[in-house]
């Protein structure tokens, strides 16, 4: 019932692409089990099955299969239910040795049942008044151990040096040595000071990740102190928490999404879920910015082709949803700006933690070096040439051994 290689998906279908390695059964039987378990079926025949709800395995090429699910199988606006179907029990079946959800194509009715980004690329560029270059960001380092005033001072040094965006790290929430509300107050106070001194818009992204009610309380604190952004660890918090936050801060706060823990199910090339799928889901639910990696340029493991798919998932036309700003972060420094922009273009946020604060002359000089690298690349000037008249960039290139 589930295999129909002559079937052509319609605009009402949700289509999944899977990498499948069967466990001692044929590829066709394995695909049948996946289609059944992720929809209307079970391990044995039962009465009452509605044939019009049966999904169709319409393509099998090697170990890659495509399945079209009728949209009626899914509750609109409920990402939990959707994932419980297409990425649920199927990963634990004995008949499957390895299974990876490579891609999902959502029908218009499901896409439009979610709010999507409030701001997206265009809204964020409007806030910052920056149109034709990558945005430059940093993460406060060390990620843990600074108190509230120390944290704010490091942020200030980065902003004054030319950084657009400063964010908390993924595991900085409200610590015994750095309380959330005091950190927000101190850091936003110095943000205002940096804006007055530079004449540029500056952004702080505090991490509000916590139990859902506490998460919302922290978002209210940020707004109360004049903040414009919040950051959420969307995988560890969960898509329900993200959706709740999106609904609560609707058009008031930009949501920056960190993907901590994603590699637990995206890293294995044969099993799990691709980051491109996570990117699409995050866009539907409503993030404005999302980490996608550095295309193998930085410290984190990355496959260029996969991360370009993530960027495409965030920025391609999707029934009118706003485009999400791709964030490149992980082991970046000024010397890597040129290859990064060459791969990904100008519509990215380049975030460097150690690549700013590890500069030989300190955080302010590190921020200047990052901004100088972006200016050089945007103007089509080589970093080596630009460094001749910009000492901060020159020092950075020497430290990180860029010839």
**So which residues are the catalytic ones?**
141, 258
Q: CA 117, CA 287: separation in Å to the nearest integer?
A: 5
- 38, 55 in Cβ contact below 8 A? yes
Scanning the structure block, which residue is given the tokens 């590190």? 366
Q: Cα 29 from chain centroid?
A: 35
- In a 3-state reduction of DSSP, which class is residue 273? strand
> Computed over its alpha carbons, how large is the radius of gyration of the chain?
23
Structure tokens at 270: 């044969």
Q: CA 87, CA 69: separation in Å to the nearest integer?
A: 13
Contacts with 147 (C-beta within 8 Å, 6 or more apart), sequence order = 177, 178
Please give the biggest Cα pair distance in the chain: 78
Residues linked to residue 64 through DSSP beta bridges, in sequence order: 19, 61
Structure tokens at 246: 């999106």
Q: CA 99, CA 82: separation in Å to the nearest integer?
A: 17
- 283, 314 in Cβ contact below 8 A? yes
Q: CA 75, CA 89: separation in Å to the nearest integer?
A: 18
Q: CA 117, CA 325: separation in Å to the nearest integer?
A: 10
With CA atoms as reference, report the closest residue to 326 among 358, 278, 374, 366: 278
Handedness of CA 110, 37, 271, 261 (dihedral sign): positive
């Amino acid at each position: 019932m589930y295999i129909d290689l002559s079937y052509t998906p319609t605009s009402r279908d949700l289509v999944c692409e899977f990498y499948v390695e069967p466990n001692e059964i044929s590829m066709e039987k394995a695909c049948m089990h996946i289609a059944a378990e992720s929809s209307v079926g079970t391990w044995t025949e039962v009465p009452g099955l509605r044939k019009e709800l049966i999904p169709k395995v319409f393509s099998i090429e090697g170990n890659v299969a495509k399945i079209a699910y009728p949209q009626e199988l899914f509750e609109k606006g409920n990402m939990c239910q959707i994932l419980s179907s297409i990425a649920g029990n199927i990963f634990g079946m004995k008949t499957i040795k390895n299974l990876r959800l490579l891609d999902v194509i959502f029908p218009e009715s499901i896409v439009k049942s979610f709010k999507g980004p409030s701001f997206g690329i265009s809204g964020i560029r409007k806030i910052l008044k920056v149109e034709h270059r990558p945005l430059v960001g940093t993460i406060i380092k060390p990620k843990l151990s600074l108190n509230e005033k120390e944290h704010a001072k490091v942020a200030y040094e980065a902003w004054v040096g030319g950084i657009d965006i400063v964010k908390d790290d993924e595991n900085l929430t409200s610590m015994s040595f750095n309380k959330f509300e005091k950190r927000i107050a101190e850091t936003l106070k110095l943000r205002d000071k940096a804006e007055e001194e530079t004449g540029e818009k500056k952004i702080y992204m505090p991490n509000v990740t916590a139990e859902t009610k506490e998460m919302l309380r922290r978002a209210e604190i940020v707004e109360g102190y004049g903040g414009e952004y919040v950051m959420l660890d969307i995988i560890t918090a969960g898509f329900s928490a993200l959706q709740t936050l999106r609904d609560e801060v609707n058009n008031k706060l930009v949501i920056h999404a960190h993907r901590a823990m994603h590699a637990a199910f995206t890293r294995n090339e044969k099993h799990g879920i691709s980051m491109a799928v996570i990117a699409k889901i995050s866009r539907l639910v409503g993030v404005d910015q999302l980490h996608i990696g550095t295309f193998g340029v930085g410290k984190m493991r990355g496959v260029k082709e996969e991360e370009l798919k993530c960027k495409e998932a965030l920025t391609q036309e999707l029934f009118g949803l706003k485009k999400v700003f791709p964030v490149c972060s992980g082991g970046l420094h000024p010397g890597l700006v040129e290859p990064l922009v060459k791969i990904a273009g100008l519509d990215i946020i380049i975030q460097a933690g150690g690549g700013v604060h590890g500069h030989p002359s300190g955080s302010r000089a590190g921020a200047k070096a990052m901004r100088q690298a972006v200016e050089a690349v945007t103007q089509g000037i080589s970093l080596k040439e630009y460094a001749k008249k910009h000492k901060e960039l020159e020092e950075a290139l020497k430290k990180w051994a860029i010839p």
